């Protein structure tokens, strides 16, 4: 589809790593010109369009990107190149290809219920746009979030993700009493207390969950230690950074570190996981995926947090299905298969026309 390729290229060529407004303008203008839908631009910068009536299905993406590599920008413009059936450039995989596919699918579908298109801002910085929209009342019944699900079960297969991990970032703060290092008994060594807390973390069980027979395992790991002020001073403070990958319904028991004297646990960020709560919906999207490709797609899990976590937490039944492949997002050689972008268009349109079932 030439139109889909040109729209993808247009979105990718529009910078949106510092200011998403120009890309939001392009999406809003296209929707107003190409559809008769109710199109809105909220105060956060999100673009939302609606058509049809009944049970709602949302096609969800985001149009912000991470900062480009130097090789992906030239004279202030994003570099976009097409070769060997792939489009290269910042945002091709994550996730303007899927946004373009969603836009055309939204326009072309004759939906079975209410069809919603939503492209959020601020996904790369903690889901700011999604959280703002949800706080303002955005609450579709179901959603297909167009983050990557291609090449999970096999080569050239676009799967359907029914669960993904979340991420809880926290800091363990150990406090002690400073003293001269020649008289260590006069102080309380915060590093030693931090080490005791790390021992607690190493003994924690990682959370696990099962969604429609697919197993999702979390993790908890210490990633940074920072303590002390000088070689001859017993440290009075030490901080330990913890990266925890969470699963639907479960967390590691990090509160246990506070059993160590002088230790406090502080949550810095909590990106929620996603678990689909309606197997019939997951199977319906899987059916659409199967009809759109020669391969045999499967229900799978995904290691990365997405805006589906915020939506699921708010009560929307979600799956993830999109063109990006593992290892493409956020890289200096980021690219997307244009044939898979076309496949996603077929999946989204088919799902919109077949769900909800009557």
Active-site residues: which are they? 64, 123
Tell me the C-alpha distance between 4 and 66, whole Å: 23
Tell me the C-alpha distance between 291 and 354, whole Å: 12
Tell me the C-alpha distance between 337 and 342, whole Å: 9
Q: Which residues contact 197 (CB under 8 A, 6 or more apart)?
A: 172, 174, 240, 257, 260, 263
Cβ burial of 43 (10 Å; 0-12, 13-18, 19+) is exposed
Check: CB of residue 322 under 8 Å from CB of residue 164. Answer: no
Return the closest-CA partner of residue 81 out of 339, 342, 341, 334. 334
Segments in the chain forming alpha helices (H) = 2-13, 21-34, 97-108, 128-135, 190-202, 279-291, 307-313, 338-354
Check: CB of residue 282 under 8 Å from CB of residue 37. Answer: no
The number of helices, as runs of H, and strands, as runs of E, in the chain is 8, 22
Tell me the C-alpha distance between 124 and 347, whole Å: 25
Tell me the C-alpha distance between 238 and 256, whole Å: 17
Check: CB of residue 49 under 8 Å from CB of residue 35. Answer: yes
Sign of CA dihedral 102, 106, 112, 113: positive
């Amino acid at each position: 589809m030439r139109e889909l390729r040109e729209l993808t290229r247009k979105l990718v060529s529009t910078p949106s790593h510092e200011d998403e407004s120009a890309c939001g303008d392009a999406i809003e203008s296209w929707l107003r010109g190409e559809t008769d839908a109710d199109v809105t631009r909220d105060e956060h910068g999100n673009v939302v369009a609606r058509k049809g009536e009944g049970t709602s299905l949302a096609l969800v993406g985001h149009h912000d990107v991470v900062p480009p590599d130097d090789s992906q920008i030239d004279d202030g413009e994003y570099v976009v190149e097409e070769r060997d059936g792939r489009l290269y450039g910042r945002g091709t995989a994550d996730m303007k290809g899927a946004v373009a596919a969603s836009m055309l699918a939204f326009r072309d579908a004759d939906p079975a219920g209410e069809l919603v298109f939503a492209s959020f801002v601020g996904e790369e910085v903690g889901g700011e746009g999604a959280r703002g929209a949800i706080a303002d009342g955005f609450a579709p019944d179901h959603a297909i979030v167009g983050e990557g699900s291609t090449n999970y079960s096999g080569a050239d297969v676009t799967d359907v993700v029914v669960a993904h991990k979340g991420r809880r970032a926290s800091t363990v703060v150990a406090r002690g009493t400073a003293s001269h290092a020649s008289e260590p008994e006069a102080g309380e060594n915060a590093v030693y207390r931090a080490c005791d807390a790390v021992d607690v973390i190493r003994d924690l069980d990682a959370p696990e969950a099962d969604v429609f027979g697919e197993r999702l395992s979390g993790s908890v790991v210490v990633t940074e230690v920072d303590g002390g002020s000088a070689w001859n001073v017993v440290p009075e403070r030490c901080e330990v950074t913890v990266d925890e990958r969470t699963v639907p319904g479960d967390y590691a028991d990090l509160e246990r570190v506070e059993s160590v004297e002088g230790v406090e646990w502080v949550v810095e960020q909590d990106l929620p996981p996603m678990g689909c709560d309606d197997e019939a919906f997951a199977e319906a999207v899987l059916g659409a995926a199967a009809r759109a490709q020669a391969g045999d797609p499967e229900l799978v899990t995904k290691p990365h947090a997405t805006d589906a976590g915020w939506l699921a937490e708010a009560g929307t039944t979600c799956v993830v299905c999109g063109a990006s492949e593992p290892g493409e997002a956020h890289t200096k050689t980021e690219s997307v298969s244009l044939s898979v972008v076309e496949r996603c268009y077929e999946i989204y349109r088919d799902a919109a026309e077949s769900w909800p079932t009557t």
